[in-house]
């Protein structure tokens, strides 16, 4: 292993807890979001007219009442789109405005699909007018569920398969058949609404010629730039997209923000007036995508120790009406069907199913959580069948630890796991949390408690870090140094509350030997750093930190060369100190160095670039190295249920997570806590429900239950794993922390399952699906008691 990178001793450099750069602004209400920016005189407001059926055709479209409504300036349909009437991020299958006023036609694919767009003098006028359209449909029966889509052969993409034989050359079928024991099952995993605090919003301002500036809440400014350019039939250089911060994203603004941006841009382009589109919360939830629902069938062969011999998964995902990012998401679910476990002979088949629901999209974990829930169910059910502690079975199947090969390190996609520290983390956490003693105490207490039953579970996490679409693993940066020595920093990452900006600024300050206050963080803009990737896949700090490091390295090299000439010393005699340099025997303040360099016409601006090394992926043969490294963690959750009502509560959680050498421990701990709680919400209370006509009924805070403050465990013990160190050459040997903590919440689902099993005196396996709502818990209690 290479030695760790040196860390300059500057105040608030890397590896130092530092509060979020916008923390005070958030508390004071002075942080500017897209909707807070002062509107220019004449700004128009947009609203969509939405379909009221889930599947069918428009047969008549009367927009006269909309045109005549007070304050309306324009009503736009597919006829008014000058370029491509599509906002699909990967393929062109996502119609922007579905209806044509000229032909009185249009195809409807889900309830809430935008048919047309209204521009009015006020937002309320636009929203009121959009509901005045008279639309007639030829309605068809919608396809809404996984089972319906499978039966109809309704797909957004062809099925995909990964497989690997065991050491004896047996495929999954043969290994399962030859195993001493076999089990099979099915589980259902619900979707999840992003419920970002700031909804979808964009403000478009026309400039000279056909130029447009778009201020938006968007995780992928470069993609937004291209989508808008295509819709308007313009070159990308005519569109500048800016993102200062988002009030949450969680993947819901990776592609889904493009439609809102395109709507504002179309209005501004047609009217040459500034235009804003901000979705109402109900419209936001109805029209935008969610986490993919999954149904997973599995069959496993194993021995009396719980060791797997062979396993087969069939993953069926509800993808909604268009492809969006479903291929990559479903691929990642397959990549994480192993979690931390070596699967000796394995087959994974994925079905990507088209339904008449809003197109499912990216959500924190990007398919990984669904894949992990599948294998954790298998581990739990095997343990129950054997009468063993589930942790024993999990330990029996872990990948080999570094330096101790047993031939158990190859993933189903033929990547070698070289950094598996999960056994050590799990042992450490089990001891800290007193897992074994508490498990025994809970079982004893349950025997004496007829109504309230408690459960406990420890589950691990292994999450691959990199975009599985290889070309996205690149980042750029721009670093300016001004005459007074202050520094302005720009990069392609976006800030959605996760602390990316302060982390990358800490990298810049540390590289240049400056206090953090000397570094200014600026909004992400496509005219500063072009062709950037989405802030997603947990790679924001990894990639943008390295790009900034590259830019700072170029600046330092120029400054060192200049200083050697100016102070007449050998270049190797130039040392960078905190806030200064040493040139031979003389210490020169940073400000003096920059002033002298400027006078000598030394360039004080540099671009940086980073491309993640080592990764490659052969999709045809389903083999390669899609991930640069893995992030690990584990959680113990204790929960209780009321067997009369099905209500539940998370009582305690103990978490130990590996972030390598943390760039900012305070930010990382916040991400771990937030990720865990968000994951608990997904697996316990957040239920999406469409009625038989395809209308989303859980479309507001009144009908959709995200975790509240009181749902946080009463006892929450979190720690960063002290031994953490990335074996790969990442920025200061840190590891990504955005997505992996969400999957720590799988322990909560299994703690609830353990509590349900107690209600039947551990005689029957609960087979508890997610989300584990009170209704599902109560039904599971009835099953384990009465069969």
pLDDT in tens, 62-81: 999 999 999 999 999 999 99
Distance CA(661)–CA(503), nearest Å, equals 13
| pLDDT for position 13 | 80
* Count of Cβ atoms closer than 10 Å to residue 27 Cβ: 9
What lies within 8 Å, CB to CB, of 711 at 6+ separation is 649, 650, 677, 680, 681, 685
Q: Over 90: is that where the pLDDT of 8 sits?
A: no
What is the pLDDT, as a whole number, of residue 403?
Answer: 84
Q: Give residue-wise pLDDT tens across range 95-127.
A: 999 999 999 999 999 999 999 999 999 999 999
739, pLDDT greater than 80: yes
Which pLDDT belongs to residue 9?
41
701 alpha carbon, distance to own chain's centre:
22
| CB 421 within 8 Å of CB 402 | yes
For the segment 470-490, the average pLDDT, to the nearest whole number, is 97
Query: What number is the average pLDDT over the span 578-585?
Result: 94
What does the alpha-carbon distance between residue 492 and residue 210 come to, in Å, rounded to a whole number?
25
Helices (H), 30-171: 64-68, 123-130, 146-152
CA pair distance 45, 127, nearest whole angstrom: 9
Q: What is the per-residue pLDDT for 522? A: 96
Q: Which pLDDT belongs to residue 65?
A: 98
- Quickly state the pLDDT bin for 404 (edges 50, 70, 90): confident
For residues 105 and 97, what is the distance between their CA atoms, to the nearest angstrom?
Answer: 11
Q: What is the model's pLDDT at position 5?
A: 43
Q: How far apart are CA 112 and CA 575, in angstroms?
A: 62
| Pairing relationship of beta strands 346-354 and 308-320 according to DSSP bridges | parallel
- Contact predicate 336/464, CB 8 Å: yes
Give the whole-angstrom CA distance, residue 759 versus residue 449: 10
Please spell the DSSP secondary structure of 87-127, one letter per residue.
Answer: --SSSS--BSS-EETTTTEEEE-STT-EEEEEEESSHHHHH
CB-based contact 326:157 (threshold 8 Å) = yes
Q: Which residues are registered as beta bridge partners of 631?
A: 463
Average pLDDT for 584-597: 96
What are 357-369's pLDDT values in tens digits?
999 999 999 999 9
Q: CB-based contacts of 420: which residues, under 8 Å, 6+ apart?
A: 340, 398, 399, 400, 401, 402, 409, 462, 630, 632
**Active site (catalytic) residues:** 739
Say whether pLDDT at 270 is over 60. Answer: yes
pLDDT over 90 percentage in the chain: 97
0.85 cut: is pTM over it? yes
Q: Interhelix angle for 590-599 vs 540-566, to 10°?
A: 70
Give the model confidence (pLDDT) of 232-254 as tens digits: 999 999 999 999 999 999 999 99
pLDDT at position 11 over 80? no
Mean pLDDT of the chain: 96
Residue 266 has pLDDT above 50, yes or no: yes
Dump pLDDT digits (tens) for 700-733.
999 999 999 999 999 999 999 999 999 999 999 9
Q: Can you tell me the distance from the alpha carbon of 456 to that of 747, in angstroms, rounded to the nearest whole number?
A: 8
pLDDT at 533 over 80: yes
State the average pLDDT over residues 476-493. 98
> Which pLDDT score, from 0 to 100, does residue 10 have?
53
Residue 337: its pLDDT value, please? 98
Percent above pLDDT 70 for the chain: 98
What is the model's pLDDT at position 405? 81
Torsion angle, alpha carbons of 351, 356, 357, 363, to 10: 20
Distances (CA, A) of 510 to 365, 499, 515, 580, 732: 30, 17, 8, 13, 10
pLDDT in tens, 200-226: 999 999 999 999 999 999 999 999 999
Q: Which residues does 282 contact at the CB level (< 8 Å), separation at least 6?
A: 699, 700
DSSP class of 26: H
Statement: residue 435 has pLDDT above 70: yes
- The angle that helices 368-386 and 746-759 make with each other, rounded to 10 degrees, is 30
Does residue 625 surpass a pLDDT of 70?
A: yes
pLDDT of residue 618: 96
CA-based nearest residue to 114, from 132, 128, 93, 95: 95
State yes or no: pLDDT of 3 exceeds 60: no
**Mean pLDDT, residues 332-346 taken together:** 98
């Amino acid at each position: 292993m290479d030695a760790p990178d040196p860390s300059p001793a500057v105040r608030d450099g890397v590896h130092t807890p530092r509060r979020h750069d916008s923390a005070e602004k958030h508390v004071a209400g002075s942080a500017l979001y897209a909707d807070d920016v002062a509107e220019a005189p004449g700004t128009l407001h947009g609203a969509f007219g939405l379909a009221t059926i889930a599947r069918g055709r428009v047969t008549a479209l009367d927009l006269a009442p909309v045109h005549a409504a007070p304050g309306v300036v324009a009503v736009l349909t597919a006829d008014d789109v000058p370029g491509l009437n599509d906002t699909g991020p990967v393929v062109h299958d996502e119609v922007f405005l579905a209806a044509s006023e000229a032909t009185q036609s249009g195809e409807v694919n889900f309830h809430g699909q935008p048919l047309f767009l209204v521009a009015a003098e006020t937002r309320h006028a636009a929203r009121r007018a959009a509901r005045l359209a008279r639309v007639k449909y030829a309605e068809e029966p919608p396809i809404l569920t996984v089972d319906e889509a499978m039966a109809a052969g309704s797909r957004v993409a062809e099925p995909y398969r990964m497989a690997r034989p065991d050491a004896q050359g047996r495929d999954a079928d043969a290994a399962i058949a030859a195993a001493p024991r076999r089990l099979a099952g099915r589980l259902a995993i619900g979707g999840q609404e992003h419920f970002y605090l700031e909804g979808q919003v964009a403000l478009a301002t026309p400039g000279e010629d056909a130029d447009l500036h778009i201020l938006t809440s968007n995780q992928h400014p470069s993609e937004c730039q291209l989508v808008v350019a295509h819709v308007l039939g313009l070159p990308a250089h005519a569109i500048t997209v800016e993102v200062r911060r988002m009030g949450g994203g969680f993947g819901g603004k990776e592609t889904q923000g493009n439609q809102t941006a395109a709507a504002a841009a179309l209005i501004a382009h047609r009217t040459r007036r500034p235009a804003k589109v901000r979705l109402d919360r109900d419209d936001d939830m109805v029209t935008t995508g969610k986490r993919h629902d999954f149904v997973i069938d599995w069959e496993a062969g194993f021995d009396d120790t719980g060791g797997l011999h062979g396993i087969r998964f069939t993953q069926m995902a509800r993808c909604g009406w268009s492809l969006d990012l479903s291929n990559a998401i479903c691929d990642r679910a397959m990549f994480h069907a192993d979690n931390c476990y070596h699967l000796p002979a394995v087959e994974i088949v994925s079905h990507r199913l088209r339904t008449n629901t809003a197109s499912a999209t990216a959500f924190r974990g990007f398919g990984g959580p669904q894949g992990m829930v599948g294998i954790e169910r298998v581990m739990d059910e095997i343990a129950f069948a054997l009468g063993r502690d589930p942790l024993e079975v999990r330990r029996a199947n872990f990948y080999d630890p570094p330096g101790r090969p047993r031939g158990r390190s190859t993933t189903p996609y033929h990547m070698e796991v070289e950094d598996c520290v999960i056994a050590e983390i799990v042992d450490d956490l089990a001891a800290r949390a007193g897992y074994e003693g508490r498990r025994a105490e809970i079982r004893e207490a349950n025997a004496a408690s007829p109504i309230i039953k408690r459960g406990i579970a420890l589950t691990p996490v292994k999450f691959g870090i990199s975009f599985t679409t290889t070309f996205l693993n690149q980042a750029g940066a721009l670093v300016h140094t001004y005459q007074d020595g202050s520094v302005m920093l720009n990069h392609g990452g976006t800030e959605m509350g996760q602390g990316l900006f302060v982390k990358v600024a800490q990298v810049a300050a540390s590289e240049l030997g400056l206090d953090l206050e000397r570094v200014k963080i600026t909004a992400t803009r496509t005219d500063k750093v072009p062709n950037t990737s989405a802030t997603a896949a947990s790679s924001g700090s990894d990639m943008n930190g390295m790009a900034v490091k590259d830019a700072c390295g170029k600046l330092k090299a120029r400054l060192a060369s200049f200083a050697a000439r100016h102070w007449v010393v050998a270049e190797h005699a130039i040392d960078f100190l905190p806030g200064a340099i040493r040139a031979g025997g003389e210490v020169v303040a940073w400000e003096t160095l920059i002033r002298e360099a400027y006078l000598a016409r030394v360039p004080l601006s540099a671009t940086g670039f980073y491309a993640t090394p080592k990764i490659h992926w052969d999709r045809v043969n389903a083999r390669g190295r899609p991930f640069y490294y893995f992030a690990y963690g584990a959680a113990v959750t204790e929960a209780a249920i009321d067997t009369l009502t099905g209500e539940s509560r998370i009582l305690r959680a103990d978490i130990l997570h590996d972030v390598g050498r943390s760039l900012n421990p305070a930010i990382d701990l916040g991400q771990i806590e937030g990720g865990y709680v968000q994951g608990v919400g997904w697996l316990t209370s957040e239920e999406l429900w469409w009625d038989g006509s395809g209308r989303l009924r859980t479309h507001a805070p009144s009908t959709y239950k995200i975790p509240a403050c009181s749902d946080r465990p009463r006892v929450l013990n979190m720690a960063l794993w002290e031994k953490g160190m990335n074996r790969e050459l990442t920025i200061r040997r840190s590891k990504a922390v955005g997505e992996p903590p969400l999957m720590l919440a799988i322990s909560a689902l299994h703690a609830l399952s353990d509590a349900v099993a107690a209600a039947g005196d551990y005689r029957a396996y609960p087979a508890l699906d997610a989300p584990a709502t009170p209704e599902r818990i109560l039904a599971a209690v009835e099953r384990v008691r009465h069969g």
